[in-house]
Amino acid sequence: MREMEKPVFTGPAHHGIRSNRYQKPQLNWFVYIIISISLIFCSTLFAQWGVLAKPEYPTGAQIDPETMFNDSLRGQLLHFVTQMWTDHDFKFLLNFMVLSLIFIVLLLIINRFWICVAIFSSVIIVYAIANHFKVQLRNEPIIPADLNFISGGNTKQIVSFIPPNGISIAIGGVCGLVAIILFCILLQCTDGRKGLIRCSWRKPALMAKSNLKRIVTRFISLIVIAGFLFSFVYSLGNKNSWGQQLADGIADDPQIWNSIGDARSNGAPMAFLRLVHTNTMDKPHGYNKTTMLALSEKYQSEASRINRQRSTNLTDNTVIMILSESYSDPTRVPGISFNQDPMPNIRDIKSQTTSGLMLSAGYGGGTANIEYQALTGLSLANYDSSLSVPYQQLVPKQKWAPSFNQIWNAKRPADGSFALHTYYRNMYSRADDYRKFKFSKFWAMDGKYKLTDINPIDSSWYASDTSTYNAIVDKLGQYHDDSKQFVQVATMQNHSPYDNWYNDNEFKDADTSTGITDDERKNIETYAKGVSYTDSATADFLNKLDQMDRPITVIFYGDHLPGIYETAEKNPSNALALHETDYFIWSNAASASSHEKASQSNYTSSNYFMAQASEHMNAKVSPYLAFLTDMHAAVPAMSVPAASGNANEDNVYLDDNGKKMDIHKLPQSTRTLLEDYRFIQYDISVGKNYLRDTNFMDVPLK
């Protein structure tokens, strides 16, 4: 009878078949833990590999085997791990912990172990290889702001930056990605444990007490761990925050202005994450409307004083501001020499007009930052060290973004200024930023205003300077001789890499450099030939401008040195030399300021260019330009700490002889100017824009 009382199931065969078909073996929890630890360990090392560089030694150098191994990629990676025991330095552990938290958060969101492994591995592989290429080309790692390239539709342009010797790595990375994804899909299909935390979302199992307990546990764990991770990353870039103090207590030693040094020393993941959240700049004590109105009146008086001695207006001239990509005198780098001058024409031009050396915030990269300073007069030295690229992190969010081209717009709203760049318009968010700066047109290699007849030299990748200069002359020819514009130009010819592009390179035979590696020599000789092409093209361009019957002034400058001087870079005493480029301000024959030379010009930084151009042209200034004129006289050049070779030092300030100025020993008048600068920059960048309603940016138009 009892047997008959047992419940009778209908379709027992179907039930049994279903159980046998879907019942799959589940891995032991210990296996998941071992795989997770191994994955994160390998990911930490691979991410670090992306920012390391192979050692290069001068030809004939005698290097002992131990040193060669320690300097090799394997040796550097081994030291990154073993320094926990040899030096009690736990930077590897800190990066391992951070990646572990990211992996756990991803796992709690997806709740599928093998899918999580596939996604996490894919991101790490792409990140590490992208880092490897960017370090090769620009001597800087991937930063959060670079993600704007992808969101801005620049994937094609980014791929074009893969160096020729990186194709095999890219192919290997793709093959590795495919293999890992297929392997994880296979394991996901064969592993009986579908959910790491088994949760059912179907009735009636959904409301079961045990199921609700698992759901609550999963989401509470996610909220706690994700909240901790978010709070840690959010505060990591801020001084004296709990996140930074926690990281410092473990091993972190930030070098924010030296991004590649930071990544190599502290770990690529930590260097990346500390830049996720940026603080533009701290609010100056005493910042309010009264203070800013008082500053406006102060420099209005200073502008009136200066303008009594000036006889022309800025808008009486066409001003062409040319950022010459990576342009600088290679013979000024310690150890580099040629028995032939790569830049005789520009050297001669510099001797006859306002010229000198520009202190750059970058080495091997940072173009957009130098351009930003030149167009706005704002200095990176005043911003928080976590703000790495204002073009991408600041300008898009600004309600008011004054720039010097707007001086010409005030007189000619429809066509007072235009920009020209012989590359793609979305790099560094230029298209959006130029609209914010109110350029009427932006000519580039793509988009509505597309440049034509742009050609490289021989087998090089980028547009020649001759093509760029011809495009400028063509665009100027579309305006009447009596019209005046501000023209912003960024060239590309001398952009890295430098892979023996030129057919007839006389600098291979003229190279007398000493103590450098063979690869370094090849890069430098190619770069020197590019400098020579720029030299002759620039001279021809200025000759064409001399034939025009309209006053034209050219502000020409190199943005940074190329990151090819590996030997010189190893010596910290060479830091300043590797951050000094060439510049000149020149006026054509139709200009009253032809062959003029400003009183103080030996050293500068790009934030001063428009103030210097005003002096060069004897042009009247706005209160803002009056301030920058006084600031330049007091502190001829300024930059971020990395320009001195030590990211942990104070900002770099140079006198007109290129000597460092001790900020603690500056006279009170100079300290007041620096304080005023911070007030002005804060108000423009993130403050209440009190200066917008004054005449602080207005120059005389008559």
User: Which of the residue ranges 2-6, 507-511, 679-683 has the most confident prediction, judged by mean pLDDT?
Assistant: 679-683
Q: What tokens does 180 get?
A: 């890992």
For the chain, percent of residues with pLDDT exceeding 90: 64
Radius of gyration of the chain (CA): 30
Dihedral angle computed from the Cα positions of residues 147, 152, 155 and 161, in that order, rounded to the nearest 10 degrees: -70
Statement: residue 159 has pLDDT above 80 = no
Statement: residue 5 has pLDDT above 50 = no
Statement: residue 163 has pLDDT above 80 = no
Statement: residue 524 has pLDDT above 70 = yes
pLDDT tens per residue across span 673-688: 999 999 999 999 999 9
What's the average model confidence in pLDDT over 50-63?
Answer: 76
Q: How far apart are CA 295 and CA 324, in angstroms?
A: 35
pLDDT tens per residue across span 84-134: 999 899 999 999 999 999 999 999 999 889 999 999 999 999 999 999 988
CB 641 within 8 A of CB 256: no
Q: How far apart are CA 394 and CA 145, in angstroms?
A: 10
Contacts of 26 (CB under 8 A, 6+ apart): 191, 192, 193
Q: What are phi and psi of 518, to 5 degrees?
A: -65, -45
Lowest mean pLDDT among 76-90, 277-291, 635-649: 635-649
Predicted local confidence at residue 9, as pLDDT: 41
Query: What's the chain's length in residues?
Result: 702
Predicted local confidence at residue 27, as pLDDT: 80
Q: Which of 122, 124, 79 is nearest to 99 (CA)?
A: 124
- The C-alpha angle with vertex 591 and arms to 590 and 593, in degrees rounded to 5, equals 145
User: Which of the residue ranges 87-91, 383-387, 410-414, 598-602 has the most confident prediction, judged by mean pLDDT?
Assistant: 87-91
Of residues 522 and 206, more confidently modeled: 522
- Average pLDDT taken over every residue of the chain: 89
A 10 A CB-CB count for 103 gives 19
Contacts of 101 (CB under 8 A, 6+ apart): 225, 228, 229
Q: How far apart are CA 649 and CA 666, in angstroms?
A: 17
Predicted local confidence at residue 274, as pLDDT: 86
User: Which of the residue ranges 144-148, 426-430, 435-439, 599-603 has the most confident prediction, judged by mean pLDDT?
Assistant: 435-439
Statement: residue 35 has pLDDT above 80 = yes
Lowest mean pLDDT among 259-263, 534-538, 573-577: 259-263
Q: How far apart are CA 51 and CA 682, in angstroms?
A: 34
What's the average model confidence in pLDDT over 258-279?
Answer: 86
Statement: residue 611 has pLDDT above 70 = yes
pLDDT tens per residue across span 623-661: 999 999 999 999 999 999 888 766 667 899 999 999 999
Query: Could you tell me the pLDDT band of residue 413, with boundaries at 50, 70 and 90?
Result: confident
Lowest mean pLDDT among 155-169, 213-227, 242-256, 614-628: 155-169
CB 363 within 8 A of CB 578: yes
Predicted local confidence at residue 10, as pLDDT: 42
Predicted local confidence at residue 18, as pLDDT: 44
Q: Which of 541, 532, 535 is nearest to 588 (CA)?
A: 541
